[in-house]
């Protein structure tokens, strides 16, 4: 039986390190939880459709998805979505709804304390 080594993607490894460092320096548990979720195997990582985001968010809300956003469904209001990955159609639909699709590192720089950010998935 092989020993679990964690993610092999260098960008993902770097992101997890940044999240853990920011969690300890800012005393923000949100970033530690996101790092734990991103360390899971690919098959266990979260995959969220736009229809779910539309259903469970309010306009102008900031959410984070420790995984991938897919483009199934419609987004009817502007939301800031931070995720590790986006499908091509999801980015397009988010921008059409006057929302923003950003990477988790950008959200980490904009909001180091993690205030008013919800996890969806």
Q: Which of 44, 42, 19, 45 is nearest to 30 (CA)?
A: 19
**Protein fold of 10-119:** Ribosomal Protein L15; Chain: K; domain 2 (3.100.10)
Q: Which of 52, 45, 105 is nearest to 79 (CA)?
A: 52
Report yes or no: 100 and 81 within 8 Å, Cβ to Cβ: yes
Beta-bridge partner residues of 66 = none
pLDDT at 1: 65
What ranges do the domains of the chain cover? Answer: 10-119
Over residues 34-71, the pLDDT tens digits come to: 999 999 988 888 999 999 999 999 999 999 999 999 99
Strand residues in the chain grouped as ranges (E): 46-49, 62-70, 80-86, 100-103, 117-119
pTM of the model: 0.90
């Amino acid at each position: 039986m092989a020993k679990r080594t964690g993610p092999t993607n260098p960008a993902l490894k770097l992101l997890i390190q940044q999240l853990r460092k920011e969690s300890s320096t800012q005393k923000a548990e949100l970033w530690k939880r996101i790092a734990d979720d991103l360390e899971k195997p690919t098959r266990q990582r979260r995959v969220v459709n736009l229809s779910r985001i539309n259903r469970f968010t309010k306009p102008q809300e900031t959410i984070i998805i420790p995984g991938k956003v897919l483009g199934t469904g419609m987004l009817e209001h502007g939301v800031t979505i931070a995720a590790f990955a986006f499908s091509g159609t999801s980015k397009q639909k988010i921008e059409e709804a006057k929302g923003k699709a950003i990477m988790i590192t950008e959200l980490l720089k904009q909001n180091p304390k993690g205030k008013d950010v919800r996890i969806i998935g």
